[in-house]
Structure 1
């Protein structure tokens, strides 16, 4: 099984990571007190729970002790439960560990740690970037291998991007997408989606983050951010849109 590699150039990936963290901070700062308790598309998670998980991912990449601690704890819990993958244990751990923070404290720690998380991601050495993660990942009901580079350059930015959309959907706030940032993320997601299904297609995505890809095959037209939500498993999917992309 060949481990999946990133398509995005490393420097572009780090710029997208930095900008996504900033956009998430700006969104959290806009939340009214009542909006933190709004339910999201993530089963059982409020906006506050979602933000706690997001902070946990930042904490994990901001320092090696956190990375080792979170990963080892979640892997141990998954093995004990005889689960195929540990991601649900990891995210639950992050939500629990950050649950006692006030929303002001959460935002303060987010702003403090995200520059460290970008540096931590940037500093992953080349010999490790090309290696496969020790655990296979579940995508669309199938296990697959990812390289450390795919996790660090791609998934760890897609994750807060999608949760930013979740928070906006739950609260009615505008994600204010741009072609330069969101459009670059969307283009990478489209390319991976096309690679995963391998069929001819014509995809027209609307909005500032949109564009047109492919020729022939199934014709699909919808909003660019809604496309991302659907292929992430957050909406009704049929035809080629049922092809899952990891976030």
Structure 2
């Protein structure tokens, strides 16, 4: 047991993703269960990944194997469109989830260096998992999923909106924006009804001013997503919106 507890939680984050997509060994899965039983933080993260893991178990590997993923260079060459990299959940402590009015450049932000280190191991595995799920879902003939579109609030001259669409594995978002300063690296995060933040993706603004379309995703069900924030590399919120259903 001492060996299990001696590992850094960052390693366990990556192993959770590997276990979710069935790539962890029997011994790794056993050690993971022992660690999660004794680590409240990892236990909460494991619970948050449950819905994604359930969707992954329904993926047909034969179907996925017939699909050719888009190469990074091809994605970068797609004019005005960026496929953002999904990551994982953030704790409430990582995201300063205040609800006050914005003044200037607010410092409330789910994008912290500690979070980036914590999610480094899990991001790649979840990206592969989300890509596989998206590909298989696209093959089916299911009815049009639920969706909602909301305008994002930002600085003067910036126009942005996000369209959220329900998926079997969580929520896909299409962010459209124009007017941001070029060359910025921005991070998109979604807040769930439980108060936890999920990094849904990151992207770089266009080298020249113009409209940009970004695809993001997270494993939280659409009806559980309440807020969307876009932050810069300093952690300042540059775009935000409440996207939950308004109580009447």
Normalised by the length of structure 1, the TM-score is: 0.26
More strand as a share of residues = 2
Normalised by the length of structure 2, the TM-score is: 0.26
More helix as a share of residues = 1
